[in-house]
Structure 1
Amino acid sequence: MMSATARSILTPAAIGRLMLGWGTFVALMLSGSLLEAPAPPLLVAALAVIVGVILVCSFGVVHEAEHLARRLGDPYGSLVLTLSIVVIEVILIAAVMLGPGEHATIARDSVMAVSMIILNAVIGLCLLVGGMKHSDMRHNRTGTSAYLAVLVVLSSLALALPGLIGREGAYTPGQELPVIVLTVVLYGFFLFRQMGKQAGDFREVDPRLTAAVALGGDVPSAEGRQSVARVIAEHRRELLLRAALLVATVLPIVLLSHDMAALLDDGLGRIGAPVALAGVLIAMIVFLPEAITSLRAALQGEIQRVINLCHGALVSTVGLTIPAVLVIGSLTGQTVVLAESPVNLLLLGITLLLSVTTFSAKSVTAMHGAAHLVVFAVYGIAIFS
Structure 2
Amino acid sequence: MKYAILITTLVALPTASLAQSGRAGADVETLVKLGPRVAGTPVMAKASDYLEAEYRKAGYTTQIQTFTYSRFEDLGSSLTAGKSKITGLPLSGSVAGKVDAPLVVVPNVGRPEDFARVDVKGAIAVVQRGEIRFSEKVQNASTAGAVAVAIVNDRSGKLAASLGGGVSKIPVLALSREQGSALLQSSQTQQPATLHVNTRQRQVTGRNVVAHLPGIARPQILLGAHYDSVPGAPGANDNASGTAVVLEIARRISKTPLAKQTWFVAFDGEEDGLHGSKAFVQTAQPQFISSLKAMLNFDMVGVNSSLRVSGTPQLTARAKAAQSELYTSESYSGSDHASFAAAKVPVLFFHRGREPNYHTPNDKQVDSNLLDETVSVGLEIVEQLL
**Whose relative contact order is higher, 1 or 2, with alpha carbons under 8 Å and at least 6 apart?**
1
Greater share of helix residues, 1 or 2?
Answer: 1
Task: Give your verdict on TM over 0.5.
Answer: no
Greater share of strand residues, 1 or 2?
Answer: 2
